[in-house]
Amino acid sequence: MGIDESRFRVKAGNRVRLSDYDCGDTRLMPDKAKAEAATAEDIAHLEELQERLYAEHRRALLIVLQGMDASGKDGTIKHVMSGLNPQACTVTSFKVPAGEELDHDFLWRIERAMPRKGHIGVFNRSQYEDVLAARVHKLVPLEVWKERYDQINRFEQLRTELGTIILKFFLHVSKDEQKSRLEERLASPRKNWKFSTADVKERKLWNAYQDAYEDVLTKCSTKWAPWYIIPADHKWYRNWMVAGTIVEKLKSLGLKYPHPKEDLSRIRIR
């Protein structure tokens, strides 16, 4: 089914204040059962659209997932991308730069991970860590990270001109919900492995991260690579929003299977 995501797409040039967005908003689809059924339909449709994208072999799709710890990046990948053919889909998780990455500019590792024609790439964190964590932890001087917004915009514009569609999702989770999810990781033996004391330390920097995200969403939502602010306190609603937005975007491309290179009507298999 179609989804009206215009309320959550950040218009280029608009100043974003995250306090204006309700992390628990479910107004577009308040019925959980209906949302889950619609998500299942979208995942099935996504499988078909991916096949067309792969067969056409002209364009690629990049999906960027950003958000605070426990906002649901892994969960979104697990549920929304479950129907994709792994042959034409890659997931890249960006950690703290290390080794060879440190010998290059901050976009080098991003360029290497960009999806090929016909493929879908999913970034769990992304180039935006270099204006988020790098800013909050003062890993580079202010004059360095301030230049990166424009550098990222120009990089994304070039990639879209060369055939990569970019969708960027900010999973907007509340501080209370994050606390609940981190406590769940502590309490459940099945989820202990996901818990990190670093998440607790990062939580103390909540306000600094909120400020940094507001600048990212304000300065880097463009016509060619828009940001979507996804209410993420309800996992089922988050999945419905992300799946529906991806499907609608792929449908808008008018993806078609390529014509055969020869007249198949004359071929006889004996």
pLDDT band per the 50, 70, 90 thresholds, residue 2: low
pLDDT digits (tens, 9 = 90+) for 120-134: 999 999 999 999 999
Domain boundaries, the chain: 18-253
pLDDT digits (tens, 9 = 90+) for 137-195: 999 999 999 999 999 999 999 999 999 999 999 999 999 999 999 999 999 888 888 88
| Closest listed residue to residue 67, CA positions, set 247, 268, 253, 229 | 229
pLDDT at 110: 98
pLDDT digits (tens, 9 = 90+) for 4-18: 777 799 999 999 999
pLDDT digits (tens, 9 = 90+) for 40-80: 999 999 999 999 999 999 999 999 999 999 999 999 999 99
pLDDT digits (tens, 9 = 90+) for 220-266: 999 999 999 999 999 999 999 999 999 999 999 999 999 888 888 88
Fold classification of 18-253 is: Rossmann fold (3.40.50)
pLDDT digits (tens, 9 = 90+) for 179-215: 999 999 999 888 888 888 888 999 999 999 999 999 9
pLDDT at 190: 87
pLDDT at 90: 97
pTM value is: 0.95
1 has a pLDDT exceeding 60: no
